[in-house]
Amino acid sequence: MEKLTDLYQQKILALALFAGEIMMKSGAEIYRVEDTVARICHTCGIGYVECFATTTGIFLSLDNSSDEHNMHTFIKRINGTAINLSKISKINRFSRKFTETDSPVEEWHEQLREINAEKFLALPLRILGAILVGAFIVPYYGGDVFDMIAAAISAGAGCLISAGVEKLRVPPFMNIFFSSAGCALLILLLASIGLGHNITPMFIGAVTIFMPGVALTNAARDLLSGEMLGGVARLAEALIVAVAIAGGIGVMLKIWLFAGGKYYFAGIATYPLPLFLAFGALVTFGFCLLFNSPIKMMPLTSVIGGIGMYVLVGGVQIGYSAVAATFAGSCIVAILAEFSSRAGKDATTVFILPGIIPFVPGTAIYQTMENILNGEFTIAAANCATALILAGSIALALILIATLTRLIMALVRRISGLRKRKK
């Protein structure tokens, strides 16, 4: 009997680890991975469960709290991550069904294998997503219509270059380096023929799809939540990506200037506030395509992102600081995401990530990289601090709304339980 129980425990452990691995590789939050793994184990009557997840591995120990059976401990190495919100959504639904139905472990393993085998959207759709992001993020940084066109072309080309370089199985750092260099070269060429006037918004728009927005925001969330190891790891990831982007753009700029090329800055373009509702929605939709969001959730997610961008830009226009406006916009996105996730019974990550990434401080990150390349280290430190503060305000808003939502839901359940007892 002991061997049968141990074998069953091992199968459940393998199932839970497989689910956690898929989630971690798809960009899920650390707390969500740990919660899902523990929930699967608890559902099968395993009393003692300890799960510790990092960006590079998942550690799991379990036992049935009996002296007659052995404790099992497994380690799962995580190699490589790519944001795939469809997989996170499906694992979220998988864990819900697992707790509600009773089927053989082998059937659940088969479902996980099917989820794991799911691929990203076709390359043309991802390129379309890059084009939307590149074009419609530019107005937020003061670029004009010609800048939007140039950034859209360069972002689409950068996505294509990245897909090609990825097939060569080079390290992600080098992939981003070459892709950023390609984007920079195309921006400079387009600007030289008059298609584009403001080089900074064009550069930001072209490389926004490579910006470490997810890593930087998640790093701040982990650190504020007490997940020090995960936070430091993701912060290091964000810095490495930023260095790769800076290196690609910097090398191309140096070559361009050495060859006698020039670039200009024509001035800041302004737009009516209501347009940013559309700009934000289109940028969010672009990220939905890049992050492989569930198709049926894309329209709602786009609306959430558009409303968030409207609040952010509106806050800046009426005189609030960038930090306060970013915090307010992030709160709106988080609130709408919480309501949407409960109405659609889906993970909040599906709605939050595409909607919040446009808030990532692209200007501060780009200026930090530019200052470092120019040897302006004091200014670079100030811009880096600005980027971290803005990322921290995003993370704080997400944590605050998530905590308040849990408290409200717990209170509602408690009141509902009391009413049922009285009846």
**3-state secondary structure labels for all residues of 128-160:** HHHHHHHHHCHHHHCCCHHHHHHHHHHHHHHHH
Q: For 386-422, write each residue's pLDDT tens digit.
A: 888 888 888 888 888 888 988 888 888 888 777 767 6
Q: What three-state secondary structure class fits 54?
A: coil
The size of the chain, in residues, is 423
What is the DSSP pairing of strand 57-63 with strand 48-53? antiparallel
Sign of the alpha-carbon dihedral angle for 211, 217, 222, 223: positive
Q: What percent of the chain has pLDDT over 90?
A: 34
Q: Is 382 exposed, middle or buried (0-12, 13-18, 19+ CB in 10 A)?
A: middle
Q: Is the pLDDT of residue 243 over 50?
A: yes
pLDDT digits (tens, 9 = 90+) for 37-47: 888 888 877 77
Q: How far apart are the first and last CA of the chain?
A: 45
Structure tokens at 231: 């936070």
Q: What is the pLDDT of residue 2?
A: 41
Encoding tokens for residue 136?
């419609």
Residues 6+ apart with CB under 8 A from 237: 55, 212, 215, 219
pLDDT tens column, 338-388: 999 888 888 888 898 898 888 877 777 777 877 877 778 888 888 888 888
Integer angstrom CA distances of residue 279 from 9, 139, 226, 236, 298? 51, 8, 35, 31, 15
pLDDT digits (tens, 9 = 90+) for 277-309: 999 999 999 999 999 999 999 999 999 999 999
pLDDT digits (tens, 9 = 90+) for 27-77: 888 888 888 888 888 887 777 788 888 888 898 887 655 565 667 778 888
**Chain position carrying tokens 């915090």:** 327
210 closest CA partner among 169, 173, 185: 173
**What does the angle CA 348 – CA 287 – CA 274 come to, to the nearest 5 degrees?**
90
- DSSP state letters, 220-243: HHHHHTT-HHHHHHHHHHHHHHHH
Long-range contacts of 160-164 (CB under 8 A, 24+ apart): 160/123, 160/127, 162/210, 163/123, 163/126
What is the CA angle 339-34-54, rounded to 5? 115
The conformation of residue 359, written as its DSSP 8-state character, comes to: G
Cα(268)–Cα(270) distance, integer angstroms: 7
- At 59, which helix (H) or strand (E)? strand 57-63
Distant-in-sequence, close-in-space partners of 292: CB < 8 Å, separation ≥ 6: 83, 84, 85, 86, 87, 120, 121
Contact 327, 349 (CB under 8 A): no
> Using 50, 70 and 90 to split pLDDT, how confident is the model at 3?
very low
Coil, strand or helix at 1: coil
